[in-house]
Amino acid sequence: MKQYIIDAFTDKIFSGNPAAVCVLDHFPGNDIMQSIAAENNLSETAFVVNENGRYHIRWFTPKSEIDFCGHATLAAAFVLFNFYENEAAELEFAGQIGEFTVQRSGELIRMNFPAYDIEHIEITDMMIEALGTIPLAAYKDRDILFVLRDEDEVRNLQPDMELISKLDGACIAVTAKGTEYDCVSRVFAPKFGITEDPVTGSTHCMIAPYWCKRLNKTNITAFQASSRTGILYCESVGDEIIVSGKAVLFSINDIVGL
């Protein structure tokens, strides 16, 4: 089984978010995919199968399968465009979030995702204790998004991961208005064995609608302030968010122990 390691949402290796990608004729058993993801110990491993011209994609964290992952989709599209579909300008995907398309546009790969809802929720004492600060506002869909006061607060935040894992969201994100970029964010996902996710495409389906509305823009540039950092170009179009980014190949290897 051939496996590609791609750094997503960056144009240089050792930054962005690394994802493993396996392009297969058919999906192996769930236990095999989960074991491969655990062995890789990256935030996500994507498994992709061509089914009548549409690529069915599944995403696994080191602990479990997840319903949606943006950076591993970017990584998978990069692999397909560069090694399997060299002449293609667009790819069709299907996953747990439904069907969606991905296009290449120069150095960028554009992914058309459904936008998350932005439902305001009350801030609880547990949230405050988990974050170590009092957020300005909180919103929920699959993930929880906390709005903080400024970029420095986002960058310097040291949340309590045990308490973060107990909050009712798949991923826990914090964000604030940026100085160099429209917004700056960080994302934590200890429930899935990921203390801090380096760059998170899926959660920007919530972050981007919030800032597009707040800034009265249809296009924003988002910066994820993890130790690896990453840049996402987001566009709000109706009930979709187009999340675009660059990617770079780190390695190609063979899984030989199966």
Domains of the chain are 2-106+246-254 (3.10.310.10), 119-243 (3.10.310.10)
- What is the rounded distance in angstroms from the CA atom of residue 130 to the CA atom of residue 110? 34
Pairwise CA distance, residues 240 & 5, whole Å: 28
Is 162 noted as a catalytic residue in this protein? Answer: no
> Over the stretch 66-97, which tens digit does the pLDDT of each residue have?
999 999 999 999 999 999 999 999 999 999 99
At residue 258, the pLDDT reads 76
- In the chain, DSSP assigns E strands to 2-8, 17-24, 44-51, 54-60, 65-66, 90-95, 98-105, 108-114, 119-121, 137-140, 144-147, 172-177, 183-189, 194-197, 219-224, 230-237, 240-245, 247-254
Share of the chain above pLDDT 70, in %: 100
For residue 149, what pLDDT is reported? Answer: 98
Mean pLDDT of 162-190: 97
Identified catalytic residue from 44, 99, 122, 151: 44
Residues 27-60 have pLDDT tens digits of: 999 999 999 999 999 999 999 999 999 999 999 9
User: pTM for this one?
Assistant: 0.95
